[in-house]
Amino acid sequence: MSTEELDATPTGTLLYVPVGDSVATWEFAGRVPNRLWYTLVYPPDQDGVVNNRRPVYVSALDLLPATTDEGQAWLSLALELADRQAWIQQKINRKHTQP
């Protein structure tokens, strides 16, 4: 998400961020004043309980792949992993064809 999109995102909106081989779910809590950082908090669990109330501060760059659509986040992750797998396969093929 761009900084413009993040600035327009209402507090309490769930954000889905592809990270590694999973998608992290965060609740958006707004921008840190005078910084390009944003505050995220842990979302409530299925029972509506928030187990960890400490905020997490994340840079705008780390939120570029974030989305408000969980399905889109998983699709983005799947495409990224497929690209990574293709790159690894190229390295394997190149290693086996060299004398």
Q: What is the pTM of this model?
A: 0.83
What pLDDT is recorded for position 29? 94
- 9-27 in b/e burial notation, b at 16+ Cβ within 10 A? beeeeebbbbeeeebeebb
Contact 1, 14 (CB under 8 A): no
Q: Where are the domains of the chain?
A: 3-97
- What's the token pair of residue 76? 């983005």
Q: What is the pLDDT along the chain (99 residues), one digit of tens a residue?
A: 999 999 999 999 999 999 989 999 999 999 999 999 999 999 887 777 777 788 999 999 999 999 999 999 999 999 999 999 999 999 888 877 766
pLDDT at res. 65? 95
